[in-house]
Amino acid sequence: MVLKSTDQYLDSLRQMKRKIYVQGELVENIVDHPIIRPSINSVAMTYQLAMEPEHEDLMTCTSSLTGEKINRFNHLHQSTDDLIKKVKMQRLLGQSTGACFQRCVGMDAFNAMDSTTFEMDQKLGTEYNKRFREFLKYVQENDLVVDGAMTDPKGDRGLSPSEQADPDLYLRIVEKREDGIVVCGAKAHQTGMINSHEIIVMPTISMTEKDKAYAVTFAVPTTTDGIVYIYGRQSCDTRKLEGSSIDVGNSKFGGQEVLTVFDHVFVPWERVFMCEEWQFSGILVERFAGYHRQSYGGCKVGVGDVLIGAAAVAADYNGAARASHVKDKLIEMTHLNETLYACGIACSAEGRKTASGNYLIDMLLANVCKQNVTRFPFEIARLAQDIAGGILGTMPSERDLRHPEIGVYVDKYLRGVAAVSTENRMRIIRLVENLTMGSAAVGYLTESMHGAGSPQAQRIMIARQGNLDHKKKLAKTLAGVKE
């Protein structure tokens, strides 16, 4: 059995030397940086829960490659039961952190890579799947965190990668050598990148032959020379520097997004899994997107559970819990959240075995799941803000509450139900703010809209997978239409 403890994970991050910038400053120690640490705690929870017997069935499984017990985040799905447990695991972690826990992208990349490289090898006589599985064995045996990097900056969206004024606006191969390749470019919006040990890079769109230099997939350690990390800003992020346990809303956990620059990065051949095979870029993109759209039926639902709970507590503290319209809003929030979960479970239960042996979700239902995720969390957030009240955007700070002169006024006039302390009321209001307006809103709302592709991307896939001709035939048959 190879499972890292939380402390071992934190120690591994301390030992890594990388070029990381946060708000223009080079950061040597990310583990103890107040802006970064909450996101590290979220990843650490994936290690902690894997060690707890009551969560063993969801958080761990037996590797199909080594036969050893591993963290489920590093697993190749071997059944529809594995796909369902993935969604349940993600919901558990969303409930446990109230934030993005950052390991889903790597897990989804593994499973998309395995079936795609296997089919590439069958058709082209390459050995990419063997290379990939050797890499994954290494990841499993060392219980590593791997980030999947798919999103390029894209530049002018009206132009293909090779037509851009700056060719590096999509990551590309700039040199092929005897011992490997050299790449240039960047990957944007990378969730949990500096909390990861390894990176898997994938193309961001289906490539044509003229863009074959951009059809590249590989894995490198995050410590590789030539990689620069620029930490993304989030709303209210500097509150983490103030030392307030109230004003952040969720002071222990958080998410992380990073702009990752590849400045002439060398990749040895044994870590290259696609090199100009542009015909397979679209398959890889679609499968990764499908897996990641399934993921949102778990992780966003878990965070939604936290938000629904926070709204219900806010109603209690405001003295409004008995109001019929508040009860109805909480029912609607629950209905929307469980609908997302139902989609995540459905696309998992309807999965199928691929040629490589791992399981792929039902692509139509996965895209329906994500299409709903682009809408429902926003309505849940709106209702939560409605229930919380206008104080959500006007509440004084913890410093005001603790102030020797004015603290008594804050305590007196911000109290709701007399039996509930003003501090507790402030804490729950800040949590609602964090999830719907603050730093956690990046993981709950912005990712819900743009993660795994923006809404139109799912609609395109729904159109492809919807089998409209079959539906027309059913209608004509029942209507007695003869052509």
- 59-96 residue pLDDT tens: 999 999 999 999 999 999 999 999 999 999 999 999 99
Residue 332 covered by a domain: yes
Note whether residue 233 is domain-resident. no
Q: How high is the pLDDT of residue 2?
A: 82
Report if residue 138 sits inside a domain.
no
Catalytic residue among 97, 151, 191, 354: 191
In a domain, 483, yes or no: no
Strand partners, 176: 181
Chain segment 104-156, per-residue pLDDT in tens: 999 999 999 999 999 999 999 999 999 999 999 999 999 999 999 999 999 99
Indicate the number of domains in the chain: 1
> Residue 399: which domain range?
283-467
Please tell me which residue in 299, 343, 347, 369 is annotated as part of the active site. Answer: 299
What's the mean pLDDT when you consider all of the chain? 97
DSSP characters over 289-352: HHHHHHHHHHHHHHHHHHHHHHHHHHHHHHT-TT-HHHHHHHHHHHHHHHHHHHHHHHHHHT-E
Render pLDDT for 9-38 as a digit per residue (tens, 0 to 9). Answer: 999 999 999 999 999 999 999 999 999 999
Centre a 10 Å sphere on the Cβ of residue 10 and count the other Cβ atoms it contains. Answer: 18
Q: Which of 77, 292, 317, 347 is catalytic?
A: 292
Q: Is residue 413 part of a domain?
A: yes
CATH code, domain with 313: 1.20.140.10
- Please say if the pLDDT value at position 257 is more than 90: yes
Q: Is residue 406 part of a domain?
A: yes
Mean pLDDT, range 461-479, rounded to an integer: 96
Among the options 119, 198, 257, 433, which is catalytic? 257
Share above pLDDT 90 across residues of the chain, in percent, rounded to a whole number: 98
Is the pLDDT at 249 greater than 90? The verdict is yes
Q: Is 204 one of the annotated active-site residues of the chain?
A: no
Decide if pLDDT at 239 tops 80. yes
* Residue 403 annotated among the catalytic residues of the structure: no
SS3 379: helix
Q: Is 347 a catalytic residue?
A: no
Strands (E), 150-246: 172-176, 180-191, 198-201, 216-221, 227-231
Per 3-state DSSP, the chain is made up of helix, strand and coil in percentages (nearest 5) of 55, 15, 30
* Selection from 391, 382, 381 nearest residue 307 by Cα: 381
Query: Which tokens go with 257?
Result: 């997004």
Which among 296, 317, 341, 359 is annotated as catalytic? 296
Q: Which of 104, 184, 343, 369 is catalytic?
A: 104
State residue 1's pLDDT score.
58
Q: Among residues 47, 61, 77, 100, which one is catalytic?
A: 100
At 50, phi and psi to the nearest 5?
-65, -20
pTM of the model: 0.96
Instruction: Give the model's pLDDT for residue 233.
Output: 94
- Report the C-alpha gap between 436 and 384 in whole angstroms: 8
Question: Residue 314 domain-assigned?
Answer: yes
Answer whether residue 181 is part of any domain.
Answer: no
The encoded tokens of residue 178 equal 């005897």
pLDDT, tens digit, 9 for 90 and up, residues 397-445: 999 999 999 999 999 999 999 999 999 999 999 999 999 999 899 999 9
Q: What is the mean pLDDT of residues 171-197?
A: 98
Residue 229 annotated among the catalytic residues of the structure:
no
